[in-house]
Chain A
């Protein structure tokens, strides 16, 4: 098995906003090794979230290729890439986006149910994951009964449900206070130490400092890409 999990080659993403053509990503190439922890940083509107969406398979590039674990996701149909995301990519979003009608454990079970994991197995794993993120006692609470930090922990547990090879997170600390954000940074680092490749987009310097590699973007291109000692 290759050490490279993700290869993005000459990625471009353009879209129209009214009359204006927006070139959000302008020829980005990126390799991500297995087990790596990469933070994409840069000013607002520089294209970092668009790049994350492209490498996570929830957006289609205008040009270029995205290969994850040998599979060209840019060439997949909507059904194929949806199935691929289910098994290979975990998502964490700034606004958590848990299903309000479901309990914490049901939210974690959701991707496993879609993957047709047997009920007993998915309940067992959902409990394990909630314990892993420190919410074993809150499994039967609905999102409205959880704090922001707790909701984001449930979102991380949900992202890890189908044992994805890598986890993408878009501003995962963006809606959390400093203390809760720091706890989240520690949790994400733990997830990485336990073997999951992580790519985060962030404005949070603390989160960027926790990554092993930091990619700086500006105007849709990578302007800096350097490794750092993880803290």
Chain B
């Protein structure tokens, strides 16, 4: 059974649960709300042995002994138990919980897609400059990133429209069009460099005189892509990732 950790309104998580079940893989949704209200936590580290047991409000127990695979779509720390906390203590409690969730999911013995990192609970939400630099290393055509002391820092985080969304899931590369070998391998290399089992990669079309079709260049990437747009091909890749 695959446990899908997600926000309560995460349509992509519901979609993934349905598509995995269609492919014969049981899936159980665990919402951030349920995690945030967990009745009991026990997380142990003894040498290289890491064990976790979490009792949810409805009595379900997530226990590392079961080593269930996890589709991890958590992006925020659930705060259900912190509503009575305010001021500096609230920020402190948030840091504490983030540190705990990070350790729990990093040390979970089953497959986790994606593992958390200090920069994000379901993978690193990198700054566009880092995606541009990593993509160049991966051999992908990339929109140059320019930044200076005359630019507003927050501008960088504004979403940019994608004309082509590609998914890397395990070794599979899923796209709505036929990709060149170079682009396919570049996406795969980017996911490896980003340390992501699941990565959404966005491209924009480059105006080109090339006679051999459209040219694309990367505009961004995310460890938490909208899975629904990946369709059946992505569902197949997810099922394969959780069964091999």
Asked if A pairs with B, the answer is no
Residues of A within 8 A of B (CB): none
